[in-house]
Amino acid sequence: MALAFKLPDLGEGLTEAEIVKWLVKAGDNVEEGQAFVQVETDKAVIEIPSPRKGVILQLGASEGETVPVGKVIILIGEAGEEAKVEGEPAEEKAKQRPSVGVVGELEEAPEEPPAQIGRKGEEITIDRGAILAVPMVRKMASDLKLDLRTLKGTGPQGRITKEDVLKAASKKPAEKEIPAQEVKAAPKSDAYGFIERLPLRGMRKKIAQAMSKSKSTIPHAAGIDEADITQLIGLKAKAKERAASKGIHLTFLPFVIKAVIAALQEHPYLNSSFDDEAGEIILKKYYNIGVAVDTKDGLMVPVVKNAKGKNIFQLAAELGGLSEKARARTIDLADLKGGTFTITNFGAMGGIYGFPIIHHPEVAILGMGKILDKPVVLDGKIEVRKMLPLSLSFDHRVVDGAEAVRFMNTVIEFLEDPGLILMEE
């Protein structure tokens, strides 16, 4: 019997994913464990392995389509098999093998209606209650602003066809006529000139959702300051040659991570999260530092786990590997989760100060600006020093301004005296 494979929950609380690329086509043979599709979810591109050996009878979605968890995306069976997966009596359904996901068996979603899959070559349709219609017909009805529940299908088993939709549309009262020139211009221009409309999808959609949730949930506050890292630059220059001999590219970021962890230990409320439902502050006793990485598809935040237990060279090596995987979109979902505090470096693009958005559910994020040569008064004399601009955004429900300033002062203390950083290792 053919297996109707449903899109599993590939992450924590995943609701949908975009089909990036099919690695097989109808008629191909597939081995158990062989990757058959690439999907994008939670900023990562993941390959889904086949749960069984067989022949691809049908693909249930198109490349670029966003599908919900629980939707049938592929039908796997035997060559020439006439497969049907229809609603069955409860006692028969109980005997069926549950769907198999990426990490074992998946619990069937009771709210999903049964899938109806016809002969090879037919489109997969999902019985959503009393409405039977293929996706193309549903989209057509949506575009024409027709409610499918009001239509009577003339197709097999009462299925609503393209002709049914067109017939109903022809009877719909005519809307206000729009001049032809306006219709022609609307998709490509507005009142001021030419435009291009881009659908919000994939990783950009995930970023938009995360930023909206953070800003709407967390009352952001911010503070800025700067650190004199003249001594740190000298220390990094000495360490860079040794790092290169180990095949490691050393930047300032590992030193900043160490300074941040030292400050988090002294000011633990910035290494926490806020449980809205319970009304509790959750203090984290571990230090997983997220680092924002700029990729061609948008911002990603890989997380260095147990950063406190790693030295400067170990941090540099891990940061290099995570950044490379993020830009190649091969990073594991686990490497994007579990952060307790985030650092973003807009100085790499030439920025000085910013107002970074907190990575929910964390309560703070530190931004690094471009290192500047600035005149500074030391012991009554003016000297040119290397200054690092710092921007801190924090959750004002958990952290007050005074505590945020104290945290920044501790970070600056460690950056300005890099010997303290080495003592922390």
Pairing of strands 44-49, 16-22: unpaired
Using CA atoms, how far apart are residues 409 and 392, in angstroms rounded to an integer?
A: 11
The partner residues of 328 in beta bridges, in order of sequence, read none
Q: What are phi and psi of 363, to 5 degrees?
A: -115, 0
**DSSP 8-state class, residue 227:** E
Contacts 24+ apart (CB under 8 A), 49-55: 49/102, 50/5, 50/76, 51/3, 51/5, 51/76, 51/99, 51/100, 51/101, 52/3, 52/76, 52/100, 54/2, 54/3, 54/29, 54/30, 54/78, 55/27, 55/28, 55/29, 55/30, 55/79, 55/81
Q: What are phi and psi of 350, to 5 degrees?
A: 100, 0
Using CA atoms, how far apart are residues 359 and 342, in angstroms rounded to an integer?
A: 7
Strand, helix or coil for residue 195: coil
Residue 396 is a catalytic residue = yes
Amino acid letter for position 15: T
Beta strands in 29-126 (DSSP E): 29-30, 35-41, 44-49, 54-59, 66-68, 72-77, 100-101, 104-105, 115-116, 125-126
Give me the sheet containing 44-49, strands edge to edge. Answer: 44-49, 35-41, 16-22, 66-68
User: Which residues are identified as catalytic?
Assistant: 396
